[in-house]
């Protein structure tokens, strides 16, 4: 099964929950990442119940804080 992650192809053996997919895809700081699946944002509460499957497009987004001087 092929999944596109941040523009790169990743092969997985079977459909996975977003929570498990974060581990397989080696997402940095999975507790802070925002996940977009096929153009829709996945709420953290849905990480265990939302499935990543063949042909899906996943984006890992990291929001950075900052400020002005």
pLDDT tens readout for residues 17-58: 999 999 999 998 888 999 999 999 999 999 999 999 999 999
| For residue 67, pLDDT beyond 80 | no
The answer to whether the CB of 6 falls within 8 A of the CB of 59 is yes
pLDDT at 64: 73
Confidence band (pLDDT; 50, 70, 90) for 68?
low
Q: pTM for the complete prediction?
A: 0.88
């Amino acid at each position: 099964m092929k999944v596109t992650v941040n523009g790169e192809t990743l092969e997985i053996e079977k459909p996975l929950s977003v929570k498990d997919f974060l581990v397989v895809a080696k997402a940095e700081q999975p507790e802070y990442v925002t996940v977009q699946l096929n153009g829709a944002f996945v709420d953290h509460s849905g990480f265990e119940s939302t499935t990543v499957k063949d042909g899906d497009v996943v984006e890992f987004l990291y929001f950075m804080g900052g400020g002005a001087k």
